[in-house]
Structure 1
Amino acid sequence: MRRVPGRLRRTWAALSTGERVVLAAWTMIAVQLLLRGWAVAGSWFYADDFIFLGKEATGEATTAWLFEPHNIHLMPLGLWLTKLVGAVGAFSWTAAAAEILVLQLLASLACWWMLRTFFGDRPGTLVPLGAFLFLPMSFPTVVWWAAVVNQLPHQAALYACLAAHVIYLRERRRWALVMATVFFALALGSYTKGLLVPVLLVLVAVLYFAEGGVLRRPWRALVDYWQAWTAYGVVAVSYLAVYLTTVPGTGRPDLGVLAETVDLSLTTSLAPSMLGGPWVWSSLNQVGGVGPRLFVDTPTSLVALSWLVLGMLALVAVLRRRRAWFALLLLAVYALASAVLVGAGRAGDFGVASASLELRYFADLSGVVALCLGLATLPVRGAVGSSEPRTPVVLDLHVGRRWVAAGLAVVLAGSLWSSWSYARPWHDPVQMPQEQWVANATEALTEEPVEIPDTTVPDSVLWAAGFPANLVSRLLSPLGDRVEVVDHGTDLRMLDGEGNLRPATVADVPRTEPGPDGQCGYSVSEETVIEIVPVLDFDFWLTISYLAGQDGSMTVSAGRTEVEVPVERGLHTAYVRTQGAYGSVTLTPAEGTTLCVDNMNVGFLTPLDVPQEDE
């Protein structure tokens, strides 16, 4: 057993520096996949996920649907990825988790390709790679499938586009330009933030692959690489043409909202996350604090400390290395553009805090931070000018490797804590009740054929803003013909807050006065009009409690609704979903059908809170 470590040491010693770096990078990526695999395995479908699964199950996920906007996003690639999972089977989290991890692997490999393309296989690239792999900045995109399908493909395409772009700038290879253009198109097809990719492409060309002063550099970059700008421009203009004609306009962004979003995003969200934060999360304004989504809640003292540390690191880099400020400029411009885009879109509809303090909107910055860390400390291969030690030395500062290692260990520990803290609610059945609700509903609806009203599911499963996706017929559509919803019936049962079947009722006072026929209430043997408390023009359920001496049927007319419902012998309740305003209900029994009507209720259906065995 003692010979194995010695053999491993000899094998390691036989490797070149570049081979060691590549092996170390692959090991780090594998560790990241294991950590994020743990986070994904404990999560489940949430919110928008059910909308995507329902579209696939009902046959609405057509090619045309791929180019329909989701909220304000035009994301055909992301929607196509949802089709793949939806086609596997009903609520297959295994398929979704596998897709998430494959996309995470692609994003990590793309980031590694970007870093080694810029800097080569040198040990210094492992620190930026580690920043991308383990900083919690991109962690919130992994546990929520709806965020994954646009965020991770966008990240992979962004980093791969930068790598191919640099190969073109350095070697003028046309295949590299074609690849960069394709990856740019994929970034746009994944996420609206793909519009910011040209910001990075232009800055890299101007700062690192063009000569001259402040005014001459942009001109040289424009002239020397005109083919790239033409190709990227065609893709960007084509996307914008489709986007502006497809996505409804959100109006002119409020300047105050933009300013607040930029301020909160840059100061409170991004700065701590670059050092392993935010360390502290909160549920923000979610009702009762229930729900898995968490928002940055870094204490003010730690925000200030983060800025102090980042400022000191930036100052040291600028004083010790020429052109290190290029990297700071690139990061600042892209971060500012990201915050402005979020402020112009998400913040206007959902509030500044919920947009600025949710890190998933800035997940792509994890790779940009990694790139800029490398740009500040390492030379760029083939660049006209890049980071290099200052001569003469301006700041003669020697920091021992142990101190550097200790600092990196602190950041890594904070990153792991922040990531673990974020994942906990996604593993908590109290804050993620969707899986158990769907499991209970699936079991209840497969035990026996049962007709249920098409009511909405609890907000804890899918919020009301998702209507009509929060209807039982939509959310459970992946179960296929096991779900049979009706708009009328007798003694209907419905799914309760836990997904179990319970008798349906209208929790309201009767809409009718006591009937004139004594204990019979309203005797119905021919067409009978019964006056009720007037009902507004809205979709309500009408319940009719009756006693019948034989089976039969009757026609119920109320508002714009007229439907024939069965009548069963004995004491029962008829249910009818009505539309329109009305102040009376007309009952027309079939020939030979007589019944006594006790009372009628109108309102929303709620499950009767009684044990199922007592029904």
Structure 2
Amino acid sequence: MTEDVGSRWQLGPARVLQVALGLVSGSLLVRSWVAARSDFYWDDLILAGRGGSLPLLSADLLIYDHDGHLMPGAFLVAGIATRIAPYQWILPMITMIALQALASYAVFRLLRKILGLRPALLIPLALYLFTPLTVPAFAWWAAALNALPLQIALAWVAGDALELCRTGRRRYAISGLLVTITALLFFEKSVVVPFVAFATVALLAHIDGSPRPLRSTARRGAPLWTGSAVVLGGWAVLYLSTVDSQFEWAGPERAFQLFHHATSLGLVPTLLGGPWTWDRWIPSPPWASPSTSLVVVSWLVLVAVMLATMRSKRRIGAVWVLTAGYFLLSVAAMVITRWGADTTYELAQTLRYFTDTAVILAICTALIVRAPARNPVVVPFPARPVVAATVVAAFLAGSLWSTYTFTRSWAENPTTDYLTTARASLAEHQDAPLLEQPVSIWVLLPVAYPSNLVSRVFAPLPDRPAFSDSTDRLRMLDDSGTVVDAQVTWVRSIEPGAVPDCGHLVDQRSFVPLALDGPLTGWEWTAQLNYLASADGEISVAMEVGDPVRVPVHRGLNSVYVRLTGGGQGLRIKTLTTDLSVCVGVGPVGVVVPK
């Protein structure tokens, strides 16, 4: 009877392959649902704005310091998608799902090389496919264009390294280098890829009892390691010459707090399918908010698993040490590159800074499963698959709930309605230039300047007004994305001029000062110039301290609104058209607000 029960739980290679494909398909269905519930957010607008307005293969687009990132591949993909269908979510969604499918296959391919097609392969595969650790980075297009190519490369190059060391075939070195280069084009953190590949091969050799695993790995994989060193050296030169990285040490107390939030409130609960709940304040992304009981139980389970595996398996100490070291390295990189005066500890709980740890955990699990046992297992055979299936099912249930609660929070995105409304409203108001302004703070905060300006964000749209530093009809986009009539506040006003029936007479090509009724600090101001022009032409307008702006004027009595940067006690105006004279009267200088 026991033998019959045990035989029912045995899975041959063909059945394992079927179950694995089922897990991959199921995870892709879940991720497709997540992607369908997502939309453009924050950096997505920066990528789309630049990709839709700059030449596709230009250095201005591709070799660009994006908040410390060098990611020409991401800008290229965003540029292509934006040119085909500007601000249509379908193409970003397809790219996210396609990259996730490649990452899932790469992890399965690697696990198969480590474990073969046996039932134990399904455990690390399910861990990678469904862990909530990777969900926040997947759901955000800009983050996915960083995270998923790295996950693909970590698994694929490690698999190539294993085959290179086993067979000696150089084609695996070539494909490994090509994948590494591709990953570097999307995310500079991909510099870790060759090191993870080396560690995977060396740990596998160590587990299998090789007397000199480091030496054999270095010798057999030399073509890949040598080529990787050349690639990383060239990439380092390009990165350091392009990116102005701001490294800042947060101090031991703050660094510890970030580590605590990244570990106890971030990574560890995801090992049980947590965090189950998320917090958020818009426009920030959601962050993991596990309960205290989940945190405590997660730590207890992790420690118990570590102790149990160390007692039951041989030669796995280095596996645990290097896995923990990889995660700590990711947290350290976050601490020194993302810490600032306004940084909150919840940043670590967004999980996206160490999402690639999911691949490392899958490798760690596979290596531990493969490691030889210290003593014969005394658990009856039928009980083992039942326990494993129960644990996996519980993990999947928790992970799916965490994915659902994250997606529900993530779907609260003001950018969706803002873009929809702005697209329609801009198309309806093309009769006059729209004065430059930031988009709503619920879409992009001022820290994104100048990428938060409407001329950058909406540059890809074909049906829109021109964006200019001057306009004869003042309008603005309100927080809903609607184009509305606007006015200039009277922060300061232009003093009356001395010329009777004229005010300030500007009839020569040198600057004429227009005094204000008080000083203005250096900032972005809008001046309403009420003028009488003798003919059509152009004038130049500037703050007392600031760069001039060319402004078209029209014959007769008119008003023009000019966006100026600078400050001082007055304005400076001169004519740029021969024989043009302009009389300028009293008018406000301030900020633009809805009328």
Matched, 1:200 2:184: no
- 5 Å-filtered alignment, 1:185-584, equals 185-209=181-205, 216-251=212-247, 253=249, 256=252, 258-283=255-280, 289-291=281-283, 293-347=285-339, 351=343, 353-377=345-369, 379=370, 387-391=371-375, 401-428=385-412, 432-450=413-431, 451-480=433-462, 482-509=464-491, 511-512=493-494, 523-524=502-503, 526-527=505-506, 531-533=515-517, 534-544=519-529, 557-559=541-543, 561=548, 565-566=552-553, 573-584=559-570
The alpha-carbon distance between structure 1 residues 110 and 516, as it changes in their structure 2 partners (threshold 3 A), is: same
Instruction: Please state how far the C-alpha of 1:188 moved relative to its aligned partner.
Output: 2.6
Q: Which amino acid aligns with 2:589?
A: V
Instruction: Please state how far the C-alpha of 1:251 moved relative to its aligned partner.
Output: 4.0
Pick one of 44, 47, 50 that aligns with 2:45: 50
Deviations 1:558-581 (A, max 9, x none): 5354755546878x6431223444
The alpha-carbon distance between structure 1 residues 109 and 220, as it changes in their structure 2 partners (threshold 3 A), is: closer
Aligned twin of 1:611 = none
Matched, 1:19 2:14: yes
- 5 Å-filtered alignment, 1:125-204, equals 125-204=121-200
SS at match of 1:532: strand
Instruction: Please state how far the C-alpha of 1:151 moved relative to its aligned partner.
Output: 0.8
Task: Supply the distance in 2 between the matched residues of 1:442 and 1:146 (Cα, whole angstroms).
Answer: 21
- 5 Å-filtered alignment, 1:29-44, equals 29-44=24-39
Bigger drift between 361-370 and 96-105 goes to 361-370
Aligned twin of 1:286 = none
What are the ranges of 5 or more consecutive residues in structure 2 without an aligned counterpart?
1-7, 507-511
Q: Does the 8 Å contact 1:74/1:243 carry over to 2?
A: yes
Q: Does the 8 Å contact 1:291/1:425 carry over to 2?
A: no
Aligned twin of 1:383 = none
Aligned twin of 2:587 = 600
The alpha-carbon distance between structure 1 residues 549 and 172, as it changes in their structure 2 partners (threshold 3 A), is: closer
Aligned twin of 1:382 = none
Task: Supply the distance in 2 between the matched residues of 1:120 and 1:153 (Cα, whole angstroms).
Answer: 25
Q: Which amino acid aligns with 2:525?
A: F
Instruction: Please state how far the C-alpha of 1:187 moved relative to its aligned partner.
Output: 2.8
Task: Supply the distance in 2 between the matched residues of 1:250 and 1:223 (Cα, whole angstroms).
Answer: 38
Instruction: Please state how far the C-alpha of 1:172 moved relative to its aligned partner.
Output: 2.3
Task: Supply the distance in 2 between the matched residues of 1:238 and 1:93 (Cα, whole angstroms).
Answer: 35
The alpha-carbon distance between structure 1 residues 459 and 321, as it changes in their structure 2 partners (threshold 3 A), is: same
Task: Supply the distance in 2 between the matched residues of 1:232 and 1:515 (Cα, whole angstroms).
Answer: 70
* Seq. identity, %: 28
The alpha-carbon distance between structure 1 residues 550 and 188, as it changes in their structure 2 partners (threshold 3 A), is: closer
Deviations 1:89-147 (A, max 9, x none): 22121111111111111111111111111111111111211111111010011211100
Across the aligned residues of Structure 1 and Structure 2, the Cα RMSD in angstroms comes to 3.5
SS at match of 1:291: coil
Task: Supply the distance in 1 between the matched residues of 2:337 and 2:126 (Cα, whole angstroms).
Answer: 31
What are the ranges of 5 or more consecutive residues in structure 1 without an aligned counterpart?
1-12, 284-288, 380-386, 609-615
Task: Supply the distance in 1 between the matched residues of 2:339 and 2:505 (Cα, whole angstroms).
Answer: 60
Instruction: Please state how far the C-alpha of 1:203 moved relative to its aligned partner.
Output: 2.3
Aligned twin of 1:91 = 87
Query: TM-score, normalization: structure 2?
Result: 0.86
Deviations 1:216-248 (A, max 9, x none): 543444345434432332222222232222222
The alpha-carbon distance between structure 1 residues 229 and 557, as it changes in their structure 2 partners (threshold 3 A), is: closer
Q: How many residues align?
A: 573
Bigger drift between 445-454 and 256-265 goes to 256-265
Task: Supply the distance in 2 between the matched residues of 1:492 and 1:228 (Cα, whole angstroms).
Answer: 61
Q: Which amino acid aligns with 1:482?
A: R
Deviations 1:508-555 (A, max 9, x none): 3552568999xxx97549559764223334431111457x89997895
Query: TM-score, normalization: structure 1?
Result: 0.83
The alpha-carbon distance between structure 1 residues 308 and 468, as it changes in their structure 2 partners (threshold 3 A), is: same
SS at match of 1:477: coil
Bigger drift between 67-76 and 412-421 goes to 67-76
The alpha-carbon distance between structure 1 residues 179 and 588, as it changes in their structure 2 partners (threshold 3 A), is: closer
Q: Which amino acid aligns with 1:600?
A: G
The alpha-carbon distance between structure 1 residues 170 and 253, as it changes in their structure 2 partners (threshold 3 A), is: farther
Task: Supply the distance in 1 between the matched residues of 2:245 and 2:186 (Cα, whole angstroms).
Answer: 19
The alpha-carbon distance between structure 1 residues 596 and 201, as it changes in their structure 2 partners (threshold 3 A), is: closer
